[in-house]
Copies of this chain bind each other. A is one copy, B any other.
Amino acid sequence: MKLASLKKGGRDGTLIVVNRGLTEFVTVTEVASTLQQAMDDWPNAAPRLNAVSEALNLGQCGDSQVLDYTALASPFPRAYEFVDGSAYLPHVERVRRARGAEVPESFYRDPLMYQGTSAGFLGPRDPVPVASEEYGIDFEAEVVVVTDDVPMATSADQAADHIQLVGLINDVSLRNLIPPELAKGFGFLHSKPRSALSPVLVTPDELGDAWRETVLHLPLRSWLNGERFGEPEAGVDMQFNFAQLVAHAARTRPLTAGSIVGSGTIANEDESLGASCLAERRMLEIIASGKPETPFMSFGDSIRIEMLDSQGASIFGAIEQVIEPYAG
């Protein structure tokens, strides 16, 4: 099934079930008012939401309405936990190679992961408000999963069973704030502001055989200002699968229902497929010619992130955002 949230209804929006073709939806307040409420009671809510989804896909819901992406909030307008991995090591390798550094051998065994802000996610068509272009505005196209309650110190095998939803994220990054922030030693804060999830999140069964061993085997496509930017394969070069990332996140703490775990920027060894963020294209330019050619994003620039199934149909809907000066 495919789940989303309308903006209307309060800080957590209103949970809806969306049809497979992303054209229609129904509200499901009789099951749960918000996606977080559904996650909080997932063993009971999921079968009931699935039944609605099946009826909707069969055209048997008389009260369905036309889906308008601009009326959508983030599926989770706010969440309790967002941790983001960096599972595609070609991304890490390029970033380090550009500054002449090696990738430590341990990075192939021990996932990189940071604690991100989960207090607010931008709607999938909301502008990205930024105070200054000097911050070095970038997007990062990633895959995310959402868990139910995960016990502390769970194994990767067990963690796989806790993955209930899959989606995309534009992990907004302020590149010029990253070096001074990481130099302080405490990780990202200012450099990772609010991000945007895809319009809908889907249960793994919607992905068919593209979801294997908790890896999503499809290209993730990005367009910058309407031009194709990259379409690297999310199923290639993912050093740690989502079960491993969830287990890593839960090593010393339980994860609460509705926790969001990100893959990190999708990147392949094969450079011909393009990148999923500007930083990486700039790194390749630095490696090739000594300096970056592509600028970071300016006010008014747009980013579109989407994943299509093997028939060319959009799975999660497209994230489409414009960078906007923050008015204060």
| Contact surface of A with B, Cβ cutoff 8 Å | 11, 40, 78-81, 83, 86, 107, 110, 112-120, 129-131, 135, 151-153, 174, 177, 182, 184-194, 249, 251-256, 259, 326, 328
Contacts and interface: CB of A to CB of B under 8 A. Distances in A.
Nearest to A78: B80
A328 B129 CA distance: 43
12 contacts: A78-B80, A86-B186, A115-B187, A115-B192, A119-B253, A119-B259, A120-B254, A120-B256, A129-B152, A135-B252, A186-B187, A194-B254
Q: Give the secondary structure class of A's interface.
A: loop
Copies in the complex: 2
A252 B185 contact: no
Given A119-B80, A153-B328, A131 B252 contact: yes
A252 B190 contact: yes
A185 B99 CA distance: 15
Nearest to A256: B119
B118 A81 contact: yes
B187 A120 contact: no
Contacts of A119: 80-81, 118, 253, 255-256, 259
